[in-house]
Amino acid sequence: MKKLSVVVSVYNEELALPMFYRSVKPVLEGLSWDYELLFVNDGSIDGSLEVLRQLLLLDSKVKLVGFSRNFGHEAAMIAGIDYAAGDAIVCMDADLQHPPECLPKIVEKLEQGYGVINMVRTRNQSAGIIKNITSLAFYQLINTLSDVKFEANASDFFVVSRQAAEVLKRNYRERVRFLRGYVQNIGFRKTTISYEAHNRVAGESKYSIRKLFAFSMNTIMCFSNLPLKLGIYAGAFAALMGMAVMAYTLCTRQGAPSGYTTIVILNCFMFAVLFLIVGIIGEYIAVLFSELKDRPIYIVEETGNLGGEKER
Ligand code: UDP
Ligand code: MG
């Protein structure tokens, strides 16, 4: 019998967790596959860990990987993929925004031999208008800048087969990362299932606009080198403009143009472009530096019900 691993990242979800467990458990029981429910506690500072420990005692299908501190959602998902033992892995959120009712459909698709299933949201009730617009703008930008193409409504709700998971585990260990992007670009037989994102059942979203912005910047750097080439374009543009002005001055023999304002504005503008480009290069160097240091993506402090040598 095949086994489905459901990986759930948890950060301060003490209120949502019992509800999540209650709704996902019957669905999992009804599947034709065996299953495990692997919670990754991402250094929660509320009672989430206690709730999870209770679940571990109650239910041997529930497993736990607990981080030593908060490492972020991306790290939690990759840890889930590292520790999951199933023939396919589903990553989902603990706040019930990703409906467990999709699981039977997922198993059906897996049995048809699909290796990657992207869960595409049709409607996002909870995200405000600003989040929806920025999200759309972000995908427009990244799709313009990058060679690889991204599904605009993809979410952190996705399914990978064991084979695809092994690729993610072995070859996608960057520190600056965007798992959702990798999942869409590793190939394998792909399909999508659409779902309607509900409001989160309890607690609040951990992604502020500021966090999302930082995340978007990282993603652009992860998938595109185009910003690095801005310097070349800006330089070429400035050189052309310089030549045009030079030609004009020489031809009309006006002598030096009498523009203090022009000079100041031009100076400011050129310096602005210059510093911007230096800043962009700096960002890439920061990414390089963090990859070079090769610090761990996550640190596990405790595990539960994993069995064997994986246990800590
Ligand atoms: N999460 C996490 N680590 C973090 C932030 C969030 O593991 O640092 C988890 C969180 O518990 C939830 C999922 O990631 O299960 C998605 O987070 P959230 O619902 O806050 O994001 P949103 O759905 O609002 O984009
Ligand atoms: Mg959510």
pLDDT digits (tens, 9 = 90+) for 135-149: 788 888 888 888 777
- The pLDDT assigned to 257 comes to 61
Q: Which helix (H) or strand (E) holds 234?
A: helix 226-252
Q: Which helix (H) or strand (E) holds 223?
A: helix 209-223
Best residue among 93, 131, 180, 209 to mutate for probing ligand 1's pocket (most ligand atoms within 8 Å of CB) is: 93
pLDDT value of residue 50: 92
How far does residue 174's CA lie from ligand 1's centre (Å)?
20
Cα(188)–Cα(9) distance, rounded to whole angstroms? 25
User: Ranked by mean pLDDT, which of 2-16, 111-125, 219-233 comes out on top?
Assistant: 2-16
Does ligand 1 come within 6 angstroms of the Cβ of 11?
Answer: yes
Q: Is the CB of 36 under 6 A from ligand 1?
A: no
Which amino acid residue places its CA nearest to atom 25 of ligand 1? Answer: 207
Is residue 125 very low, low, confident or very high in pLDDT (cuts 50, 70, 90)?
Answer: low
* pTM listed for this prediction: 0.79
Cβ of 271 below 6 Å from ligand 1: no
Top-confidence residue, 81 or 255: 81
Query: To test the ligand 1 pocket, which listed residue (7, 8, 9, 155) has its Cβ within 8 A of the most ligand atoms?
Result: 9
Of 73, 74, 97, 209, which is best to mutate to test ligand 1, by the most ligand atoms within 8 angstroms of its C-beta? 73
Question: Do the bridges between strand 88-93 and strand 3-10 make them parallel or antiparallel, or are there none, so unpaired?
Answer: parallel
Q: Residue 79 CA: which ligand is closest?
A: 1
Contact 95, 126 (CB under 8 A): no
Range 292-303 average pLDDT: 90
Q: What number of helices (H) and strands (E) belong to the chain?
A: 10, 8
Q: What percent of the chain has pLDDT over 70?
A: 96
Residue 168's SS3 state is helix
pLDDT value of position 167: 92
Confidence of residue 65 (pLDDT cuts 50, 70, 90): very high
